[in-house]
Structure 1
Amino acid sequence: MGCAAEKESGTQDRKIEENLKADKQKSGNVVKTLILGTGESGKSTFVKQLRIILDPAYEKGKSGGYSSEERSRYAPVIVQNVYQALANLQDAMDALRIKYERTENSKNIQDYAHQVSSDNLRMSPEDATKIKKIWNDKGIQNAYNKRSEFQLADCCKYFMESLDRIGSHGYTPNNDDIVHCRMKTTGILEYRYNVKGTEFMFIDVGGQRAERRKWIHSFEIVTSVIFLASLSDYDLKLAESKTDENRMRESLKLFEYIANHNAFQSTLIIVFLNKRDLFEEKFSASDFDKHFPEFKEWRKEEGQSKSMESCLQFIEKLYTKKLKNKDNPDQKVIFHKTVATNTSAICDVFNNIKQELIASSLRKAGLL
């Protein structure tokens, strides 16, 4: 009987081991990625791009991503983005004491700014014509050029240059419109996609300070982290701060917290240094040294001249310096310079990191 009992016990052990292996395999097949970053870093933009590029229709050369009904729901939000930009520009005109080129634009901008909180906004062709005149006002352009001194969404210029479409009858947002559309993320949102047999789960959380206390619940379940940092934030002030705190320095502090957290010591961390296009656009006009004087000292030590490329190299160094255990063999940190609003570029980046995400998931499951 002893031998029979031992045989039965051995069979049960093998079944348990097989079940555990199957559970690990199942867990390893789900690539769980947490998307983090400060507010306005481009997290939600990246999530919207994933929906587009992981739609089978995209591979066939079609737009895909969103249904006609979903696109129509974005239309009033986009109009609200335009009106919010006008409200911000109006406040800036007052604060910076900039005069309008044409007095009629002063009255018209006020009318639209007052509609920001209205529901189900629509823009008529007549509205579009008026707003174009406001946007082209020399005073407004002067304020726009000083946008580092006040809060203004990055999508402002894109939508102002698309007013004819937005104000047309039966306007339906295209993918670029949806990607540029600004909607504040609150809470925790989960997205799942099946890519050639591998299930990807992306978890998007609000980046504002008030939202970050909710992140901790997502830390233990993920196999990788994508951290977005805006390159163009170097001369911007944090919206939630009363002390004019620099946005990039806030991002660096947050990265330090995430990268050195116990939950991520054996986790793949992919850093997207995002908004490279906006960074390049402002680099010659807004002095990086003014906001990061240590850049000058770094150039001297490294024998580097002041250029866009040396500045990008310096910014990456700022983030890597936040890693307290640089020799940790279990934690891998990879950097990519991105433009989250560029669909084809994000598709290329995702294809580059896809195998890294899968490998990280398998390692976490003990299958690699």
Structure 2
Amino acid sequence: MPNLKRRPTTLYLAGKVSQAIDEALRENRKARSTREEVLVLGAPGSGKTTLMRQLRIIYDPYTVREREDFKPRIRSSVLHALRQLDSLLPAETPSEILKILDSSPSETLISTEDIATLIHDWWSRPDVQNTSSHLSLAPSTTHFLDRILPIAAKDYLPSDTDILFCHMDPSPALVQLDIPFSEGRPFLHCTCVRQSLRSIHQWLPIFGEMSYIIFVFNLNDYEDAEDTRKTFDLWEYIYTSYFTRYAHIYLIINKPSSFAAKLSNTHPLNSIYPDSEVTPDITPAAAQEFLLRRFADRDCSGRRGISRWVVDLMDTEGVRVMMRNLMDELVQTRMVMVCGL
């Protein structure tokens, strides 16, 4: 005779599995209804990592343990800053500091404050300060050399600004962060991915269900026409891709202040784009609009106008205000899509 006792047990287990699947689907729908997926993209050096770190600082501050974990990277960043300065001032770098540059990051500034004092005294010399003021130093270089003594101290704990300037090579392939907002609003699940135009066809389909894309453009990249062209190509591919056809795309323009200084002092726009109708005395505002029109010119999708924010991503308060405004627009866009308002 067949074992009739097994049949109810099998049906019972199948029912439990079905209930578990239904519950998982309900939770997934609930999660998707209370969060918005945001993909952060941009060319290398555009400010994507800075934006993600700012979001951590504003919405989920770094713990003491996490700041401790940054210490070796920040001390390595000091070495990176020294090497950049030495490449521009090779004849003026003392032999003692040249020996430091030949050492590994783990052997520099970690066990002795005497080395930090030596570097600080050299960096503080009026002749070095005067010469370096005329060089195209990265802001991170001057920041770390200015703070070399506190960074070398035994009780040092990285500040938010130290973390923002920290040099990481290579950068993480993927960084994700949840950003909570006020009650009744969906939170943002932000994903920042290292990407290149060469591999975009491989990684973009993975994020095909993203609701929103934030594209970061560093205005200072304008002086390198090839890098800027790659940025525009990346933008065009993303904006016209089948996988982003339902995504709302927002443009963040980074480094407006330093762009204005560089434009007027060292790299006129017409020298970079000689074929364009750009005059040598173009104002920073007009030059910025000229570059941004190139993003609009790459839009062949027929979408509506590009939403954009201009902010220095090193300015924490500026990023805070920008994100508040961005969230307001995301909520309005969500209402239009859901309610047809």
Maintained 8 Å contact 1:187/1:211 = no
After superposition, the Cα gap between the structure-2 partners of 1:120 and 1:110, relative to the gap in structure 1 and judged at 3 Å, is closer
1:182 alignment partner AA: H
* 1:276-334 C-alpha deviation (Å, 9 max, x unpaired): 23223423222232222245x1459xxxx511111112121122111113x325xx521
Q: In the alignment, does 2:312 pair up with 1:343?
A: no
Distance, in Å, in 2 between the alignment partners of 1:266 and 1:66 is 34
- Is the Cα contact below 8 Å between 1:206 and 1:212 reproduced in 2? no
Name the CA distance, whole Å, in 2 between partners of 1:90 and 1:247: 25
SS at match of 2:180: strand
The equivalences for 1:243-282 within 5 A come to 246-282=226-262
Alpha-carbon contact 1:228-1:274 (below 8 Å) kept? yes
Once the two structures are superposed, what CA deviation does each residue of 1:204-262 show, in whole Å capped at 9, x if it has no partner? 111456775663144312100110111111224xxxxxxxx632222122112111212
Partner of 1:205: 193
TM-score (norm 1): 0.74
Contact 1:37 1:43 in 2 (8 A): yes
Contact 2:46/2:217 (<8 A) preserved = yes
Match of 2:65 among 45, 69, 72: 69
Q: 1:69 to 1:182 in 2, by over 3 A?
A: same
1:86 is aligned to 82
Q: Which runs of 5+ in 2 are unaligned?
A: 1-23
**Which amino acid letter does the alignment assign opposite residue 225 of structure 1?**
I
From 29, 38, 43, the counterpart of 1:33:
38
Please tell me whether residue 313 in structure 1 is matched to residue 289 in structure 2: yes
Instruction: Point out where structure 1 has 5 or more consecutive residues left out of the alignment.
Output: 1-18, 56-64, 237-244
User: Over aligned residue pairs, what C-alpha RMSD do you find?
Assistant: 3.1
Which stretches of structure 1, 4 residues or longer, exceed 4 Å deviation after superposition? 19-26, 136-146, 207-214, 359-364
TM-score scaled by length of structure 2: 0.79
After TM superposition, the structure 1 = structure 2 runs for residues 33-182 of structure 1, keeping only pairs within 5 Å, are: 33-55=38-60, 65-93=61-89, 99-100=91-92, 105-118=93-106, 122=110, 124-136=112-124, 138=127, 142=131, 145-147=134-136, 154-182=139-167
**What displacement does 1:180 show?**
1.7
**SS state at 1:278 partner:** helix
Distance 1:207 1:133 in 2: 41
* Compared CA separation, residues 317 and 76, structure 1 to 2 (3 A): same
Q: Residues 123 and 31 from structure 1, CA distance in 2 versus in 1: closer, same or farther, beyond 3 angstroms?
A: farther
Partner of 1:226: 214
CA distance in 2, matches of 1:169, 1:117: 16
User: Cα–Cα, structure 1 residues 177 and 23, in superposed 2: closer, same or farther, change >3 Å?
Assistant: closer
Taking only the aligned residue pairs, the percentage that are identical comes to: 21
Residue 186, structure 1, aligned to residue 144, structure 2: no
The DSSP-based 3-state class of the residue aligned with 1:172 is: coil
Q: Distance in 1 between matches of 2:108 and 2:124?
A: 26
Q: Residues 7-38 of structure 1: CA distance to partner in whole angstroms, max 9, x if unpaired?
A: xxxxxxxxxxxx99997664232110000001
Pairing partner for 1:293 from 255, 274, 284? 274
Structure 2 residue matching 1:246: 3-state secondary structure:
helix
